[in-house]
Structure 1
Amino acid sequence: PFYFLPFLLAMSTADKFRVNRSLALCVAGSLMYPTIVNAVGTGETPLALFGFTVPIFSYADSVFPVIFGVIGLSFVYRAIDKVVPDLFKLVVVPALSLAIVIPVNLFVLAPIGAWCGLGLANGIVWLFSTLGPVAGFLLGFFMPLIVLFGMHQSTSPIQISNIATLGYDYLLPISFCHNLAESGASFGAALRMTDEKLKSAAMTCAFSAFMGISEPALFTVQVPNRTPLIAAMIADGIGGALTVVLGAKCFGFVMPGITSLPVYADPSGNPMNLIMIVVCIALTWVISATLSFALYGRFDKK
């Protein structure tokens, strides 16, 4: 699935921009065409159109090239569909759309997407190499609010790009700490709750976040009670900074829950990375649970 990510992204992008899935898959297929894939390894430029050579990039496990291509397809398809008579639409519109979009994508959109992916990954590398633990603390501290507004998926292309270009990612460990911070905050709050139904819900949310799904804890416990949210933000900030200090890395793109621990094992066989991420998430959970327990109800109105 990771190698053929362009096909999966083509379908989801097609649904988002309301364009035919089969045509979107054709756009993705043009990026993964054997001639292009083989040319990446040899360094050759075997394709040309009207005297212009097609730029060659490795589009396997890429994100932006196929998204840009399918977005371009949606605009071209609708424009052609408006002017072609109904009698010819079934044959003319799809064929003409692909005849226009695929060359434009191979020459312009896909290379821009590839450069965007590289630039984004390099920018994040620069930010973390320049600010170091401060960048980890800031991202961790604001992660609960980022998830609260549904913006956390915006980091997925960066994470995928990091794994594709660097072989590992250093943002997923911070997301891992976030889920454990949400778990600890719910657990700490549950210990102080007197209502049995709320206590049971908080315990359930703590387990859900521990497994990798933090939204129930965030919306059921943290936001309504405020202080558990503060505890989670502080703990995740500390955990995020610690992942940078210890150099914790993730070697696969997975949901950051306790079951994802195996992808933190260094492929070289060095056990230290796995030990470091365990230290980070354990400390984050303990700090979050302790702060949540200590602060719970402290700022409630009388």
Structure 2
Amino acid sequence: MSHEKLAKDILALVGGKENINNVFHCVTRLRFKLKDESIAKTEELKDLDGVVTVMKSGGQYQVVIGNHVPDVYATLLKVGNISATEGQDAGGEKEKVGPLSAFIDMISGVFTPVLGVLAATGMIKGVAALILALHWVSSTSGTYNLLNYAGDGLFTFLPIFLGYTAMKKFGGTPFVGMALAAALCHPSLSTLSSGKALYTLFSGSLFESQIHVTFLGIPVILMTYTSSVIPIIVASYFTAKLENGLKKVIPDVVKTFVVPFLTIMIMVPLTFLAIGPISTWAGQLLGAATIWLYHLSPAVAGILIGGLWQVFVMFGLHWGLVPIAMNNLATLKYDPILATSVMVCFSQIGAVLAVMLRTKNKGLKALTIPAFISGIFGVTEPAIYGVTLPLKKPFIMSCIGGAVGGGIIGALGGKLWMFGGMGVFVIPAFIKPGSGLDLAFWSSIIALVASFIIGFILTFAFGFKDKEEKTTKAVQPNESRVLEVKSPLNGKTIPLTAVKDAAFSSEAMGKGIAIEPSEGKVYSPVNGIVTTLFKTRHAIGITSEDGAEILIHVGMDTVELDGKYFEARVNQGDVVKAGDLLVEFDMEKIKEAGYEVVTPVIITNTPDYLDVIPAQNSKISIHDTALTVLV
């Protein structure tokens, strides 16, 4: 399936552009924030060729694609005429979610955009550590230092990158967040703490701090903010709130420069005086607490994290551990938490290899090959959702292998010394800079091999219920039939491709026809059930008795009227007959408000049919056939 067809099908099945608040992507998934998830056709999405599965987690509707998700994402934006918001809400009613979901959504929104380049630079830093440990270069050589700078630069100035993504997530101006972070990372800060201290604050306590400088007489507790995570995220939250508040009171004529001037002028001192120190102490306490819990029993912690990691990922709960690991790397210079999770991908591909060798199903065997290859590099969604999870037993065996690998890492003291890649690319991240290939490093190799072998042997030994081969009966010419969809409006017909909204004219949501109405009434075009009635009443979806799914969208961008000038005469779930009045709308008022009333009428499940043929007559009434559907 081409990226364009896949993108069009996904767009149609999630409810179209108007049901999308925002969409971005991570390594393998399209992550939608939908206005109404009930509109999305989850089971049909799962059946699409090119979609691995669909997940709902952390307030996100996640369509798992696989390795080529960036290409599908770019195509989706193009065919749907959607702007790339990368996690910033694009309007719509806010969905009420619980604290855990809200936290996961916040963390994923902040970290996802930078995760790919963070992993890439971590891999470069790992390569530098590896060639140094193997004595291929010296620590003073230009080769080593340039590679180390390439790998370490992003992590050193990580607050600047997170300032950008956090401000986008919190609804502020990204470059203001970057300016704030740049002040925190200014290279001259270290010189302020040199020399004799003016006095000491909180003497004798955990928070004892020497004061070298003041701001308007207020003591400044100097911290090291390079490579930090929590201070800039917290500061960005308050910065976005302040900025948006100032936008409401500053005149438009000077808003462009006065708002960022006041925001930065206020927030930089406030961050240095209070937000930064408090957040840093909180981060240090968080790091100390996680290490304390880990050291209660490193092996048990490794078994639990390694064994449950895939379950965490499936439900998005792993995002709760990502900031802890990033904070540990910033405050402790190492992290043992994520270290226990990374070997489960090798257990997963061990299980996939066993399935590959045992299955008699040709389709399943074909799935195992790309799943195995991508799993080597740490992308396990195709393996999980395409192979092991549907078969159940192999997934359980891979979790057992992950638990063993995590336990070995924990027992032998394996640690991640940098945020590296996934799969085989994570191995150099276990090398402690300047220490060479020590026992902690070799524990990662032992864990890798053990996880792979256990996943393979358990799956091969205990087996699984093989999938039956699916056969598809060919449709004979004399078996085809025709469905007729009457016009829901009286008026003039317009080719759907002539509609100004690209989501309709590109036929991304399905084939159909557009009608310029002569009166403000919408009638049911078929016998069926009202499956969707938007709160704004400008659009209505009907499923016919024959299964055709019809969307009637009154006007262009009329969702912005928020239901004004529209009156529904039916409710969602009502059974209707062809010719029943569905919606009334005030055409003249809508036009006066600056909106067109051209109404697309489309078959949203077009891929289920041989073709959808629009009427050719220029004038049409509710008694005429608007669309002929070939089954």
Normalised by the size of structure 2, how large is the TM-score? 0.45
CA deviation profile, 1:11-39 (whole Å, cap 9, x unmatched): 12122223212111111012112342334
Give the alignment partner of residue 249 of structure 1, picking from 387, 402, 415.
Answer: 415
**In the alignment, what sits opposite 1:238?**
404
Contact 2:336 2:414 in 1 (8 A): yes
1:297 alignment counterpart: 464
Partner-residue secondary structure (3-state), 2:320: helix
For residue 457 of structure 2, give the secondary structure of its aligned residue in structure 1. helix
Deviation per residue, 1:124-145 (Å, 9 max, x gap)? 1111111331111111111011
SS in 2 for 1:2: helix
- Name the CA distance, whole Å, in 2 between partners of 1:222 and 1:105: 48
- Uncovered stretches (5+) of structure 2, i.e. residues with no partner: 1-153, 198-210, 468-631
Label 1:211 to 1:40 Cα distance change in 2 as closer, same or farther (>3 A).
farther
2:341 equivalent in structure 1: 175
Q: Which of 271, 276, 286 is the equivalent residue of 2:453?
A: 286
How far does residue 40 in structure 1 lie from its aligned partner after superposition? 5.3
Deviation (angstroms), 1:260 = 2.6
With CA pairs under 8 Å and 6+ residues apart, which has the higher RCO, 1 or 2?
A: 1
Q: Identify the match of residue 295 of structure 2 among 113, 121, 129.
A: 129
Question: What's the % identity of the aligned pairs?
Answer: 28
Helix, strand or coil for the counterpart of 1:268? Answer: coil
Give 1 or 2 for the bigger CA radius of gyration: 2
Higher helix share: 1
1:1-302 correspondence to structure 2 within 5 Å: 1-39=154-192, 45-266=211-432, 267-297=434-464
- Give the 3-state SS of the residue equivalent to 1:53 in structure 2: strand
What's the offset of the Cα at 1:61? 0.6
What residue in structure 1 maps to residue 112 of structure 2? none
Range that drifts further, 108-117 or 121-130: 108-117
* Residue-by-residue CA offset, 1:188-229 (whole Å, 9 max, x unaligned): 222222222321222221221221212222222232222222
Shift of 1:270: 4.4
Cα distance between partner residues in 2 of 1:237 and 1:142: 8
Amino acid across the alignment from 1:38: T
Is the 1:159–1:172 Cα contact (8 Å) retained in structure 2?
yes
More displaced, 38-47 or 220-229? 38-47
- Matched positions, count: 301
Q: Contact (CA 8 Å) 1:172, 1:256: kept in 2 or not? A: no
CA displacement, residues 99-139 of structure 1 (integer Å, 9 cap, x when unaligned):
22222222222222212221121111111111331111111
TM-score by length of 1: 0.91
User: Aligned partner of 1:90: which letter?
Assistant: T
Structure 1 CA distance, aligned partners of 2:309 and 2:194? 39
Counterpart-to-counterpart distance in 2, 1:31 and 1:285: 44
- Conserved in 2, the CA contact under 8 Å of 1:251 and 1:265? yes
User: Retained in 2: the 8 A contact 1:40–1:57?
Assistant: no
How far is 1:59 from its partner? 0.6
Q: Which amino acid aligns with 1:290?
A: I
User: Which range is displaced more, 203-212 or 282-291?
Assistant: 203-212
More strand by percentage: 2
Deviations 1:54-78 (A, max 9, x none): 1111111100011111111111111
SS of equivalent to 1:213:
coil
C-alpha change, 1:33 and 1:242, in structure 2 (3 Å) is same
